């Protein structure tokens, strides 16, 4: 089958790899019809190379149709349409039973002392083959895949794999009071969707902050007060919130924040080291680009909440603990527990489409276009906010992958 594979820093390629096969009687094989390109994939593209091997299959936002089921699978059959959560979680252990599927005890990666395994996301999270591919082996066939109805387009449901539950959890963890205010740092896929969810759930003011004009315009069209990263940003946000700052701030950026040239330089230096040494350096001394997190702490009102959905990976990140303590800030973070939020989200994926999921993708591309898509997404070119791959489609006619009007 064809799959998107990691080949080195800022280098992915589409290769022929072996088709997945059933390994356990509880497995299913899914033919992928749509698979997203996530902001977290850019961490693999840029920073986390020491924990990848050339040829690793990327991607963790899939949906498709069940092709084959293991002997012990009872809930699904060939032809069933499913979305696959990015957490590889059993659904039955003590952590899953508490709604903490990202901490699944069955798939925790003890070699690195990390939480649940993830599809397509480095040795740190199990080195499980990913979903930017034509087929995917999915374990826990009776508890992990989310069954969805036939009929509506993939765009209605594919974001249940990651974007929707991650954004929903970010808003849940933000604890925005009814009619309250929230600032969202970063208007990429998660920040954009978190802004929509916050408005839907009754926030009185959502301020979206991003340096990219296209992303600000997209959020403003849905009622977000969109601001850039100007020198007057702190004062502008406080002017909108009675001088106090917002009740909550959602950091939807993470380790790829703009600014922090020293940390960026360290990332580049580590990337040039042999993988074994680079991995040890990152796990013991890694420092993230923390400008977004520091901005969140500065922006939020005293007694407010910072909700962290952007991925951080530094082992030695300097935190502004004095400011956090002095302002009595609550901090809530973590990988999204996908299955925990599905029952909240499914009622919103109706024909009314209150979250605008069917127009959320800016680009839908064939899998062959992955190298150009990664480059475009990282550079924030051509209005790229959310890219979906269609593994069954193929490039033709010599045109560039980004040609044609993006989805609204």
Alpha carbon distances (Å) from 391 to 4, 17, 32, 272: 10, 14, 7, 33
For residue 55, what is the DSSP state? T
Instruction: Burial-class residue 385 by CB neighbours within 10 Å (0-12, 13-18, 19+).
Output: buried
Contact (CB, 8 A) for 88 and 139: yes
Residues 6+ apart with CB under 8 A from 246: 180, 181, 182, 183, 205, 207, 237, 299, 300, 301, 304
| 366 HSE (CA, 13 A, CB side) | 12
pLDDT digits (tens, 9 = 90+) for 217-250: 999 999 999 999 988 999 999 999 999 999 999 9
CA distance linking residue 68 with residue 30, whole number of Å? 7
Are the C-beta atoms of residues 293 and 251 closer than 8 Å to each other? yes
Handedness of CA 250, 252, 254, 257 (dihedral sign): negative
Residue by residue, pLDDT tens for the chain (408 residues) are 999 999 999 999 999 999 999 999 999 999 999 999 998 899 898 878 889 999 999 999 999 999 999 999 999 999 999 999 999 999 999 999 999 999 999 999 999 999 999 999 999 999 999 999 999 999 999 999 999 999 999 999 999 999 999 999 999 999 999 999 999 999 999 999 999 999 999 999 999 999 999 999 999 999 999 999 988 999 999 999 999 999 999 999 976 544 444 444 444 544 555 555 555 545 544 445 678 889 999 999 999 999 999 777 665 577 889 999 999 999 999 999 999 999 999 999 999 999 999 999 999 999 999 999 999 999 999 999 999 999 987 543 333 333 333 333
Read off the pLDDT of residues 56-83 as tens digits, 9 standing for 90 and up: 999 999 999 999 999 999 999 999 999 9
3-state percent breakdown (helix, strand, coil) of the chain, nearest 5: 30, 20, 45
Q: What is the pTM of this model?
A: 0.89
């Amino acid at each position: 089958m064809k799959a998107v594979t990691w080949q080195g820093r800022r280098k992915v390629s589409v290769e022929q790899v072996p088709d997945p096969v059933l390994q356990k009687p509880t497995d299913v094989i899914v033919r992928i019809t749509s698979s997203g390109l996530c902001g977290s994939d850019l961490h693999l593209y840029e920073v986390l190379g020491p924990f990848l091997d050339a040829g690793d299959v990327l991607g963790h936002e899939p949906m498709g149709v069940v092709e084959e089921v293991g002997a012990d699978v009872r809930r699904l059959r060939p032809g069933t349409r499913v979305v696959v959560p990015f957490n590889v979680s059993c659904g039955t252990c003590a952590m899953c039973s508490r709604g903490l599927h990202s901490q699944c005890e069955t798939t925790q990666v003890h070699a690195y002392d990390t939480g649940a395994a993830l599809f397509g996301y480095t040795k740190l999270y199990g080195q499980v083959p990913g979903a930017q591919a034509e087929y995917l082996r999915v374990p826990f066939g009776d508890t992990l895949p989310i069954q969805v109805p036939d009929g509506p387009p993939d765009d209605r449901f594919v974001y249940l794999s990651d974007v929707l539950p991650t954004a929903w959890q970010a808003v849940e963890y933000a604890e925005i009071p009814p009619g309250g205010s929230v600032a969202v740092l970063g208007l990429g896929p998660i920040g954009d969707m978190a802004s929509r969810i916050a408005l839907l759930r009754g926030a009185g003011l959502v301020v979206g902050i991003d340096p990219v004009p296209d992303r600000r315009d997209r959020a403003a069209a849905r009622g977000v007060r969109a601001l850039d990263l100007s020198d007057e940003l702190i004062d502008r946000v406080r002017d909108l919130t009675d001088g106090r700052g917002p009740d909550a701030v959602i950091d939807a950026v993470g380790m790829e924040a703009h600014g922090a040239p020293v940390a960026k330089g360290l990332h580049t230096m580590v990337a040039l080291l042999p993988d074994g040494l680079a991995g040890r350096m990152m796990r013991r001394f890694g420092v993230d680009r923390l400008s977004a997190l520091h901005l969140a702490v500065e922006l939020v009102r005293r007694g407010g909440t910072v909700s962290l959905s952007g991925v951080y990976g530094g082992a030695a990140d300097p935190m502004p603990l004095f400011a956090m303590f002095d302002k009595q800030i609550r901090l809530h973070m973590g990988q999204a527990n996908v299955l925990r939020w599905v029952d909240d989200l499914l009622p919103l994926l109706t024909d009314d489409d209150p979250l605008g999921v069917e127009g959320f993708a800016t680009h839908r591309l064939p899998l062959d276009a992955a190298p150009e898509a990664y480059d475009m997404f990282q550079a924030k070119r051509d209005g790229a906010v959310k890219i979906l791959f269609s593994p069954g489609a193929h490039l033709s006619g010599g045109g560039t992958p980004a040609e044609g009007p993006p989805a609204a």
